[in-house]
Amino acid sequence: MMIGLALAVMLIAGVGYLKYRSMQRLRIQNAVMQSLQSATAGGVRSAHISVSVSDIGEVILDGNVPSSGDSSAAQELAAAVPGVSHVNNRLQVVQPPPPAGNQPESSDALVNKGMEFLDAGEYPSAIDCFTRAAGDPNNKSAKELLDLARRAQETEEKLLKNRR
């Protein structure tokens, strides 16, 4: 009977300890996230940084930042949070793509743009986007979407004509 009671007490104490550690990890994780979101460095605030915390208080930062300065700033902010024992900085510096300039749009980008026009009821613009995207032989959906946009435009024209 005493052994059973002792095992029950140890089990309850173990579960309580695990719950305490879990809450402590969550508190540290929330504090680090709050610190990163209120950072003075704009690159840290706008970056999508994931934060993980181990049982021993090690913080792992994963994601992409625009500069090495932003990576260092994120690491310093995380290290300043109480309860953090170590910061494992896995942030990668990813330079934003150069401005598009006169580069032709990809067929996928044209399809996305055409869908926005189609949803807004701007059929001539949608047809233009789908026509340009249909020039890519790898984009099979562009031709179907082009037909859909043309039918939608015809239907709208018929409805407007019947209203008059």
What are the tens digits of pLDDT across the range 110-146?
888 888 888 887 878 888 888 888 877 777 788 888 8
The single residue listed with the structure tokens 């104490």 is: 13
**What residue ranges do the domains of the chain occupy?**
2-93, 107-163
**Beta carbons of 107 and 143 less than 8 angstroms apart:** no
Tokens for 57, please give them: 């208080």
Listed ranges 11-20, 81-90, 92-101, 124-133; the one with the highest mean pLDDT: 81-90
Q: Is 65 left (phi over 0), alpha (psi -120 to 50) or beta?
A: beta
Which of 95, 108, 37 has the alpha carbon at shortest distance from 68?
95
Q: Provide the pLDDT for residue 58.
A: 92
Select from 3.30.300, 3.10.620, 3.30.1360, 3.40.50 the CATH code of 2-93.
3.30.300
- pLDDT for 108 equals 81
Asked whether the predicted pLDDT for residue 99 surpasses 70, the reply is: no
> Would you say residue 95 has pLDDT above 80?
no
For 107-122, give one letter per residue: b (16+ CB within 10 A) or e: beebbebbeebbeeeb
User: For residue 100, is pLDDT > 60?
Assistant: no
In the prediction, which pLDDT does 164 show?
Answer: 60
